Structure formats: C-alpha cells, structure tokens
Amino acid sequence: MISSCSGQYNADLVIVNGKILTVDKDNPIAEAIAVRDEFIIAIGTSEKIKGFIEEGKTRVIDATGRLVIPGFNDAHVHFGPLDPDFIELRYTTNPSVITEKVKAQVERSKPGEVIRGGHWVHELFTDKKWPAKELIDKVSADNPVILDRADGHSTLVNSYVLKKSGITKDTPDPFGGEIQKDPVTGEPTGILKDAAMDLIRLGDIKAERTPEEEKARTWQGYLMAMKEAREFGVTSLQNAGWGDFEAYEKLQKDGELTSRIDLGAPLSGDTSRLLKYRELENKYPDNGNWIRFGYLKAFADGSMGSSTALMFEPFTDNPSTSGLAMWQYEELEKMVLTSDKMGFQIGIHAIGDKANNWILNAFEKAIEVNGKRDSRHRDEHTQTVQLSDIPRFAQLGVIPSMQPTHCISDKLFYEKRVGYERCKGTYAWRSLIEAGSTLAFGTDYQVEPLNPMEGLYAAVSRKDRFGEEGEGWFPEQKLTMEEAIKYYTLGSAYAQFMENRKGILKTGYLADIVILDKDLLTIPETEIMKTKVDYTITGGKVVYSSGR
C-alpha cells in the first residue's frame, strides 16, 4: 500500500469536484481523490488534491458534482463466458414468444446443434402456468432445446432431449429432483427440476464448430462478460462455484481483466479433494488482489420459484410438498465439519426456512467440534428465515450473502407459495442488520441482471420494477441508499476478507471507483434504475468511460 502527504507523490489519476460517498465512517464525504498505481494516495478537498497533479502526466477527471462511490463488488455471481446465441427470455409474458424465438434460432442453426436459452419465469406469463415441451416441439424436431428458468433450478426441454436422455413416464425422480409429469397421461411435461436436470444426456451430439472455432467463441464470450461488468461499474466479482483460473490469467496477461474475481469450488468432505483445493488456494492466495481462490459452495435446497425450496411446513399453494433437500442433513454437516477443520470458507445456498436452519446448525456444529475462528462462513441467499433464527447469524459469525433483486422478482408469488406469516422472515435485511449481521450484496447473475442499480432500487423500495404505489413489500425491511451502497461495497469486501483494502475510498486502499450520472442519494426511487455509470476505475485505471 501507499500512504502519502500532499506533495510527496505525484498522482497518476486525480478526480476533483466530486460528491464522494467514501463509505468510510471516519470520513464519509469528500470532494477529490488522488491515485497512484493501484492505490488511493490521498482523499479530501479539491484544493488539497490538486497539489498531486503533475502537468502532462496526471490524468484529471472533473466530476462536476457527480456522485463518486467505491466500485461495486458483486458477492454472488455465476460468471463466465457469454453465449452470443443464447435465447434471452427474461421478462417474457407471452409464452408464444418462446416458440417464436426458438424457431428463429433453429433456423440459424444446423440440425443437431444444441439450442440454449432461459431466464423465463412462469409467474410472469399471462396464464401463470408452467410451460411444456409442446411449446417448442413443433419448431425444434431436429435440435435439442434447453431453456432454463430464471432461478436455474428448473429447465424446459423438448421431446428431442427427453428421448436422447431416456427420460420417460417410468423414470423415477432422482434424490433432490423432480421430473414434472402430466397428471393425466403420466408423460414428462418437459420440465426438469434441480437434480432431475442432471439426467439430461445428449449422447453423440457434437458441436459443428472446430476446436479452434470453439476456443475463439469461448474467448469472445469472456470479453463480452467483462465488458458488461465494467459498463455497470462492477469492479469485483465473487463467483459462486468453479471457474477457469487459466482463462482469467490470460485475461489479466492480455490486459482484459477489468474486474477482480474470486473463484471457488464445490464443498466436499473428501480430504484428498480438499488437499487439491489447498493447492489452488496457495496458487491464488487471499492476499492477492486480482484472481483469488474463494469459498467452497454447496446447495442445501432448490428455489422458491420452482417450489423446491426446503421448508419446515408444506407450501401454501401445493400442500403435497415442502420442497427438496439436495443432501441428507448428516452428509451436509459432515462436509461442513471436514472443510471447516481444514480452514476453508464455506458458502451454502439456502432458500427455505428449513434449509437456512440446517446450515446454521451445521456451522454451529463446526464451532463446537473444531473451535471458533474468524471463518466468515456464508449463507448464500438467506431468503426465507424463521424469525427465531435471525439472531443466530451474528452470534455464529455467518454472513447473509443476499441479492436484493430476488426480492422484487419473487414478491410476485412469494405469499402465494408460503403465506403471509412466513414472509415476515423473507429478505429480512433490516432485521438481520439490527441483530448485528454484516450483509454482503450481489445479484446471482445470470439468474438476475448484473446491473447494481436494480439491486439498489430493490433494497430501498421493495417494489416491482414496473413501479407501484405504496410503501413496498414488507417495508419495515427496507434500507437507506447509503446502507444499500455500503453492503454492495464494504459488506461484500468483508465477506471475502478484503475489508482492509477495498470497499471504501480511503488512503492506502485499492482505487476501485465509480462515477455516476445521477445522485443516488437525492433522486426519487423511480430514477434509480435509470442511473448510468460514467466512469469505472479498477486498480487506478479507467476501464470504462461513457463519453457523456
């Protein structure tokens, strides 16, 4: 790190005349920042910071009163190369649009080529019904089609896929999964939930592209993903699971890595596998700033949208089920104990109240058996929690890693699924904070859009994206904008043990900075999602400029 008194160092970059929300409790508001190499070397008034400018060498950005904040740190993403042929179905309301888009992609594809797409939500459809294979069979006789629901816990496939995979009306549900079947005929509808998605087998289908073409296509996908992140001001990404370390090393070598990234691995109780993880952890250590080994990930349950979240009591709208467990509790606990003993950080996906209770129990057991340490184990999503479990997060040092946009997406059907009373512990941001927890905010991209403005809007309004009257859904859980920004920056940095060097704008900290075109602290909530990034600065370098 670099520390400085005015005049001791010349700056590579200076921002002046800004409204700087530092997220530093000791110096919350400033006007200007000086940066040298990767670090902030001074912060204060414009007059003070102008002393760091060297004519012809220092780049000067005049913020002209615009809001300047730390770079966004997305604490939960599924990041990787984007598919240029992906069929985007987000916010689709008319199921016939799915047919039309699949037909168009099939016409652009060769027979046998896999057609992929997704992000549909059946509760947004005009009929609010699950889609079925007939919707796409008529336009995809010669191509496998796989269209994931937005939550990633269900998928719609056509008959081609079912046949290739050997899935029939006689195929039993796997543990932790469901093959949705027609109640009259017993035939698969084309909807596969959670572990049932693992049954998909496409046999001898091969890509028509050469290995060289496939490699070039994947690389282009990484460049597309990085471009999207920097345009939204996302300077740090915490991947929820595996990632290609070598690909990100190449991005860094080529000067294309414009967001810092943590990559994790699946949770395991196998010591030999954990030792291999240790090798990766040593190669990409937590004292690094760009490519780091993150946490070990597991799933405790499914999702609320797919009715596979693990609940203590049956679903209100489907009393025949109370969701799906991805593991027997004893096996989940064993993996937690083994991985915790070896010093790994653990993050477990939990949506339902029983799933959240289970992982708190497992983390508590790890303290009892292995001893207490600063583990910062994570509850990924923390969506529906029993009110009695809320204080346990702070007591156990467990981080609620939450995604605000899930609230405004899921509120459309949450009360229908679980009833009003259980919703009191749903996306309980304010209650968790008041109980002493540190939240870490993210998006669950690509389940939800990567744009942090949607998350900030959700956190302060708890209203749907189309606007609505009133105070929002369970408004007592809303946050202030300052709080929402804090948990999207410093809170996320804390979740990855980096709060001592990023997440706030302070001398000696990494220069990850965003300049916005609107003042999030004063604009009405209807303007939040319209706010754009004018500059993204990662490690002291301007990686995106809107030109406005």
Q: Single out the residue of 448, 451, 473, 447 nearest to residue 460, CA to CA.
A: 473
Has residue 415 got a pLDDT over 90?
yes
The amino acid at 58: T
pLDDT, tens digit, 9 for 90 and up, residues 194-245: 999 999 998 766 556 678 888 998 999 999 999 999 999 999 999 998 899 9
Q: How confident is the prediction for the chain on average, in pLDDT? A: 95
* Predicted TM-score of the model (pTM): 0.90
The domains of the chain, with CATH numbers, are 1-71+503-548 (2.30.40.10), 87-199 (3.10.310.70)
pLDDT in tens, 243-292: 999 999 999 999 999 999 999 999 999 999 999 999 999 999 999 999 99
Exposed, middle or buried by CB within 10 Å (0-12, 13-18, 19+), for 194? Answer: buried
C-alpha–C-alpha distance, residues 173 and 180, integer Å: 9
- Residue 83: how many CB atoms within 10 A of its CB? 13
User: Tell me: the pLDDT tens digits for 34-78?
Assistant: 999 999 999 999 999 999 999 999 999 999 999 999 999 999 999
The whole-number average pLDDT for the span 453-464 is 98
Is the pLDDT at 6 greater than 90? The verdict is: no
pLDDT above 70 for 1: no
Query: What is the C-alpha separation between 230 and 543, in angstroms, rounded?
Result: 7
- Distance separating alpha carbons of residues 255 and 30, to the nearest angstrom: 31
DSSP string covering 248-310: HHHHHHTT---SEEEEEEE----HHHHHHHHHHHHHS-TT-SSEEEEEEEEESB--TTTT-S-
